[in-house]
Chains A and B, each alone.
Chain A
């Protein structure tokens, strides 16, 4: 089986890798690039813990082949903080207690940061719909919604 040479821009940095066809994007990020902020949860495209932003859209990186991402711009949770300053959604999750165990948090942050790029003033319903592919088993979502509202206000 031939290997494929791919290049991606991840959190602003150009990276190259030689990958097997079947390598999943989440494993490229975690194991090849060593960035373990992106979590593997269910591994069946249900839970959203592995969410990364691929060319502007949040996607489940356990269900994308690394080779499909060739040429793409990827943002992971490590890329949210800029110059030592937390992204407003990170600040929101901290301020509003938007996590307990924290396992789903990287995925939640990626989905909600992408939501706020598209929609500066989402309603509670829109926030809940946006995160409907990200499962949290601790919080009951109430504080996650508050965290996103906090971030939205901060970004306006």
Chain B
């Protein structure tokens, strides 16, 4: 299968890339790792007259800790995240998730920027970024702006990015002491999207009650689903089994998956509940709460 014809552009700088996007408007699409975009174009589910490849724009591939944030450049490959000791040490939830994305060959090409900016509710990192309270940095013709992950996802493949904006960095607040995060994903096989998956990131106070909590679900609706009610329910409580079960139930109630070959709506909602409980338990354990 071959994509419909298009023009390929390889800008050498972000400004040049933004200029190309501005010139070609919604006829243009940013090409990052291409692991979602190229299959979509080959299947003729998407077509663009212009692809703007940011793969050679310098300075978009890094993982660093800076000013209380874990900063990840948009072109950072999933394989680099997988091998990063900084990610393992500071952000176990991300370390959990990366090996579950696609397969190792796809992770050699696929990027974190593509995963979060694509707007596919089946991608794993959007829910994780919601749970972490991450921010996305975007560059457009007027310069740079930050967009909170929970303001970013507008609909299926639709995000807060303007057609001439490029997501350049993911900023994750480095979790403070007594924090834990976990990602629990159910999938049928390597390379498949999640039947359901839950991301949890929490922080405990000195008495063991939940101080901050983020919970979000993958493949549970048209966008990644942040389940703020469930998270709020846990804040101020000591998360015992009963509280965890209740929060998991509340999270699952917020999911609105559609039936497909991966299962019925009822099954997926039930799996969202089970996986939320598992992720909560693991996150709690990592926070030193159990």
Contacts and interface: CB of A to CB of B under 8 A. Distances in A.
A24 B104 CA distance: 20
A20 B53 CA distance: 15
B109 A24 contact: no
A133 B109 contact: no
Nearest to A62: B42
Nearest to A63: B38
Interface string A1-34: 1101000000000000000111110010000000
A130 interface: yes
Bin chain B's interface residue count: 20 to 34
Contacts, number: 85
Contacts of B51: 21
B34 A63 contact: yes
Contact of B2 (A22, A64, A134): A22
B79 interface: yes
A22 B3 contact: yes
Contact of B35 (A1, A22, A63): A63
A21 B7 CA distance: 6
A59 B105 contact: yes
Interface string A22-50: 11100100000000000000011110100
B6 A22 contact: yes
Given A44-B42, A44-B43, A24 B106 contact: no
Contact of B39 (A1, A22, A44, A134): A44
A65 B190 CA distance: 24
A43 B42 contact: yes
Given A44-B42, A63-B39, A68-B55, A57 B7 contact: no
Interface string B93-112: 00000010011111011000
Contacts of B105: 48, 51, 58-60, 111, 133-134
B164 to A, nearest CB: 20
Interface residues of A, number: 32
Given A20-B5, A68-B53, A68-B55, A45 B35 contact: yes
A133 B190 contact: yes
B165 to A, nearest CB: 22
Nearest to A111: B105
Interface-central residue, B5, B34, B51, B105, by most chain A CB under 10 Å: B105
A106 B55 CA distance: 27
Nearest to B50: A21
Contacts of B53: 67-68
A21 B9 CA distance: 9
A67 B3 CA distance: 14
Interface of B: 1-8, 10, 31, 34-35, 38-39, 42-43, 51, 53, 55, 79, 99, 102-106, 108-109, 190-191
5 contacts: A1-B5, A22-B2, A48-B103, A58-B104, A63-B38
Interface of A: 1-2, 4, 20-24, 27, 43-46, 48, 51, 57-60, 62-65, 67-68, 70, 111, 129-130, 132-134
